[in-house]
Amino acid sequence: MQKRHLAILGSTGSIGTQTLEVVEANPDIFEVEVLTAQNNADLLIEQAAKFRPNVVVISNEDLYDKVFAALDPLDIKVYTGEKSLVSVVAMESVNMVLTALVGYAGLIPTVAAIKAGKHIALANKETLVVAGELVTELAQKHKVDILPVDSEHSAIFQCLVGEFHNPIEKIILTASGGPFRGKDREFLKTVTKAQALKHPNWSMGAKITIDSASLMNKGLEVIEAKWLFGLTPDQIEVVVHPQSIIHSMVQFEDGSMKAQMGLPDMRIPIQFAIGYPNRLKSNFPRMDFAQFPSLTFEKPDYETFRNLSFAFEALKVGGNMACIINAANEIAVAAFLRDEIGFLAMSDLIENCMKKVSFVRIPTLEDYIETDKETRRLALEFV
Domains and CATH numbers, the chain: 4-148 (3.40.50.720), 153-265+291-313 (no CATH), 318-383 (1.10.1740.10)
Residue 104 has what pLDDT?
86
* Sheet of 77-80, strands arranged across: 77-80, 55-58, 30-37, 4-9, 96-99, 119-122, 146-148
Q: Which residues are CB-contacts of 261 (< 8 A; sequence separation ≥ 6)? A: 245, 246, 247, 287
Q: Report the DSSP pairing between strands 30-37 and 257-261.
A: unpaired
Nearest to 125 by CA among 202, 218, 246, 17: 218
- Whole-angstrom CA distances from 293 to 111, 141, 173, 289, 373 are 44, 47, 21, 7, 49
Nearest to 145 by CA among 122, 162, 112, 126: 122
0.75 exceeded by the pTM? Answer: yes
Please give the single-letter amino acid code of residue 83: K
Q: Which residues of the chain have pLDDT under 70?
A: 202-203
317 by Cβ neighbours in 10 Å (0-12 / 13-18 / 19+) ranks as: middle
Residue 2 has what pLDDT?
86
Please give the single-letter amino acid code of residue 36: T
Asked if 14 and 266 count as a contact pair (C-beta separation under 8 A), the reply is: yes
Q: Report the DSSP pairing between strands 96-99 and 55-58.
A: unpaired
Q: Residue 30: helix, strand or coil by DSSP?
A: strand
Asked if 144 and 120 count as a contact pair (C-beta separation under 8 A), the reply is: yes
Residue 103 has what pLDDT?
84
135 by Cβ neighbours in 10 Å (0-12 / 13-18 / 19+) ranks as: buried
